[in-house]
Structure 1
């Protein structure tokens, strides 16, 4: 039941955003109907008892209710409103040293017991072909516990009319400021996840996330030329108060200030800026290729972190298990074992965690019942660790899992997924204005753009949304057609300075794909504004040769 379908939403520039939609369409009021915790416990016990009797030495049960509401608007019109719900039970077991998994959307004791027996049968069949038994790092059972994303306003209780009017108001603000067309969207997710295992855990988690991307398009009618500017918002793990918070955070741009927000987002103000800047991009100077010092804003740098560090330190990629989907990793075990591989400069400290409030990855426990934690991936530029799950921990000498197992649905088997991966802020007091003072020839880059990276997460190219020339320590005119090229080790070793904690904030990916069949997850990446010296910049509008 309910295999993945896709909702195709046309973006303002004629491209398309492909958004996975899980489950069946439902009325908005049905989003608030909860599933009783005691009933979930009974289902879990039925599955675990059945699995044990059938010969499983371990069993975990994930009972999920996954709710989504997606709203899309273009100009002054609502294009689409979708509410979906999907619920069911996934059972994973170990029998004869091998994994087995089965799932059902029939929420009865008999159905989940049958699914558990099927999982055991699959495990026993797998065991005939498996050369080594599964080794699970120990996890202490926590009994019955509950956790929820901290939020003040439940998005499910806010009238759809109010949300649509907010998006349309943003579109109008963008068009009034100079955009020819505007598109804005609102993605809202609630994952009600119940985990139980034969280790003795019964964990009930209520997870909330949202994101409001927008695109402004400006058209020169005399030439047919157009330019776009996407929103600078970052998706967050919080409630609808995301749109109420006004904790101002300023980032230096050309001749003025672009206002972003920590802990919230002013959609209308960003839409105004997007409309104005999309129009300005029509007449901006095209960049001259060459070597530049790059000053990268956090809502841009998050994606470079995600692709060149986050994916590169996933242990399944390192081991070659993930080769078919987006490749493996250059950060092989021999580099980690040497204890001296210079991933970046001495300033580069990158941590993994699932504990930061408001982040997309924040939970109390992962999908193997492992408590959320924080650990180093890169310390003083040296590769020191990877991301591992319970069955991977022994490979790198860890005594416990890092707690980064995740499944995007009750019907999907959990596997290693990226936690939040972030670059620590600089220790020396420094503002963005101070960071650019000694840059003679540079470019200030803001926002997420197009990108490309090779199958080993090594050679790459990244664009952005906004580009400003830095000349003799001052931010100047807007530039166009900018992309930078490097390889992961060269790039991170060119890291020369970064702003302090006052400037640190998180960007993130709301739909990060991995696995076969593909699963999506949401993950945040934090940094402060950071400078990278002598990076190769190309002009994306010029033909080669």
Structure 2
């Protein structure tokens, strides 16, 4: 890896570039899927290559290749220089990079059991057992159990003297059960531990074992069947408590995306939209939420899916306050966007592969834990709903107006969970919604939830992000059909 990276670096420097970095990457991914008692597939892929990014005459140039050869390193470096020279012909303010001292070191994801070393039959059997537990429940029509794990080995070298090697693992799994009403064709699904893919983290196979998928199989299947005959969720202004996974997705969509500075500056407007958190709001006075709302972007959380040693610009992983006691205080930034608002990068740049230009991506954007326990929070709620695990979401391109649907809602009456409801939805406007938050759980209720499939960019890059979250309570939220809260 190093010989190829140095050859590309030296070749680019011969053309008078002001900056160059090289990333050499290899990513190995394996996945297993079981559906309705059958092994649907076992996959294994390896993707390797390198890229060269140069800054010349104030413009970026980027090129990549899957051919890990010294001659190819020189060719790709020259191509990156040619692209930068052509880009500089377009009028515009030249790129400036925030300062960074030379970084040298290595980082590996801490893990107890390498998932690639666990026998395949053992992993398949775990999913088959979980699937059998779901299918043991009468009325279940469709079951799914899956896991995926990957290892990414990458080397970063820059003309500023940085040289960083990292080996990053991410591991995850999930199960789901669906029941179908044969007369109406209504489908109800329950998932564990999360919906839309899997719960994942930077960890080893112990992360999957801790989920205890088999134990939860029959429970979620029974809940899916019960939802078919459950009443529709009522509508109106209500107090709601979001469970941990739903709070995490709420953070991802209404907190994580609007703080991406490239989006704020309009770089992403054509593909995914802008942000309501314009730079004039970074004044220490803009109220994003209530006093109990504290958000951070922290790439150092153990096990978080957005955890690493250095980002893909060689900036060290760090913790950044985003909202402090309800007041907006920071963005996710890169080395070329931070100087535009007089700041330095806080290490939030990543690429999902060797052939992709690195861009601002969420690390672990988290709602910091509060003082409540979930049981006490429910007991403290006279009348409301407890909403569990995401089913659908929609949010506008400035990340203001949103609607979320959940798989199951529980009635709360006089501090106790009551009957279940189906097809629950809630709507809101981001600052008002977070302003209505009056309690956040902590302790063992606080978990880092993984979002392994967040898309951004053109062409779209899929990134793995983490969100520390626990159940949280919100007052006067519009549930079901109605106006925005």
> Common fold, TM-score beyond 0.5?
yes
CA distance in 2, matches of 1:351, 1:243: 26
Instruction: Tell me which residue corresponds to 2:133.
Output: 173
2:174–2:213 CA contact under 8 A, matched in 1? no
Question: What are the residue-to-residue correspondences of 1:205-284 with 2, within 5 Å?
Answer: 205-221=166-182, 224-233=185-194, 234-244=199-209, 264-284=210-230
2:34–2:41 CA contact under 8 A, matched in 1? yes
CA distance in 1, matches of 2:394, 2:41: 31
Pick aligned residue for 2:111 from 127, 146, 151 = 151
Question: CA-to-partner distance for each residue in 1:109-155, whole Å, 9 max, x for gaps?
Answer: 11111111111111111111142221111111123x22111111111
Question: What are the residue-to-residue correspondences of 1:329-368 with 2, within 5 Å?
Answer: 329-337=275-283, 339-368=284-313
Question: CA-to-partner distance for each residue in 1:212-248, whole Å, 9 max, x for gaps?
Answer: 122201234455433111222421110111133xxxx
| Cα distance, 1:159 vs structure 2 | 2.4
| Cα distance, 1:437 vs structure 2 | 2.2
Q: Report the TM-score when normalising by structure 1.
A: 0.85
Question: CA-to-partner distance for each residue in 1:468-488, whole Å, 9 max, x for gaps?
Answer: 000121111111110001110
CA distance in 2, matches of 1:524, 1:372: 14
Instruction: Tell me which residue corresponds to 2:26.
Output: 65
Instruction: Tell me which residue corresponds to 2:360.
Output: 416
Question: What are the residue-to-residue correspondences of 1:8-407 with 2, within 5 Å?
Answer: 40-143=1-104, 145-178=105-138, 179-221=140-182, 224-233=185-194, 234-244=199-209, 264-337=210-283, 339-398=284-343, 400-407=344-351
Pick aligned residue for 1:463 from 387, 402, 405 = 405
Instruction: Tell me which residue corresponds to 2:369.
Output: 425
| Cα distance, 1:438 vs structure 2 | 3.0
Q: Secondary structure at the match of 2:282?
A: helix
Instruction: Tell me which residue corresponds to 2:432.
Output: 490
Go from structure 1 to structure 2 and tell me whether the alpha carbon gap of 1:509 and 1:44 turns closer, same or farther (over 3 Å shift): same
Question: CA-to-partner distance for each residue in 1:183-238, whole Å, 9 max, x for gaps?
Answer: 11112121111111111121111111122122201234455433111222421110
In structure 1, the gaps of 5 or more residues are: 1-39, 245-263, 541-545
CA distance in 2, matches of 1:130, 1:386: 27
| Cα distance, 1:459 vs structure 2 | 0.2
CA RMSD of aligned residues (A): 1.4
CA distance in 2, matches of 1:313, 1:518: 19
Q: Secondary structure at the match of 1:68?
A: strand
CA distance in 1, matches of 2:184, 2:397: 39
| Cα distance, 1:411 vs structure 2 | 0.7
CA distance in 2, matches of 1:51, 1:91: 8
CA distance in 1, matches of 2:331, 2:29: 32
Corresponding residue pairs, total: 477
1:486–1:536 CA contact under 8 A, matched in 2? yes
Instruction: Tell me which residue corresponds to 1:481.
Output: 423
| Cα distance, 1:169 vs structure 2 | 1.0
1:292–1:536 CA contact under 8 A, matched in 2? yes
| Cα distance, 1:333 vs structure 2 | 1.2
CA distance in 2, matches of 1:69, 1:280: 35
1:482–1:539 CA contact under 8 A, matched in 2? no
Q: Secondary structure at the match of 1:212?
A: strand
CA distance in 2, matches of 1:265, 1:451: 25
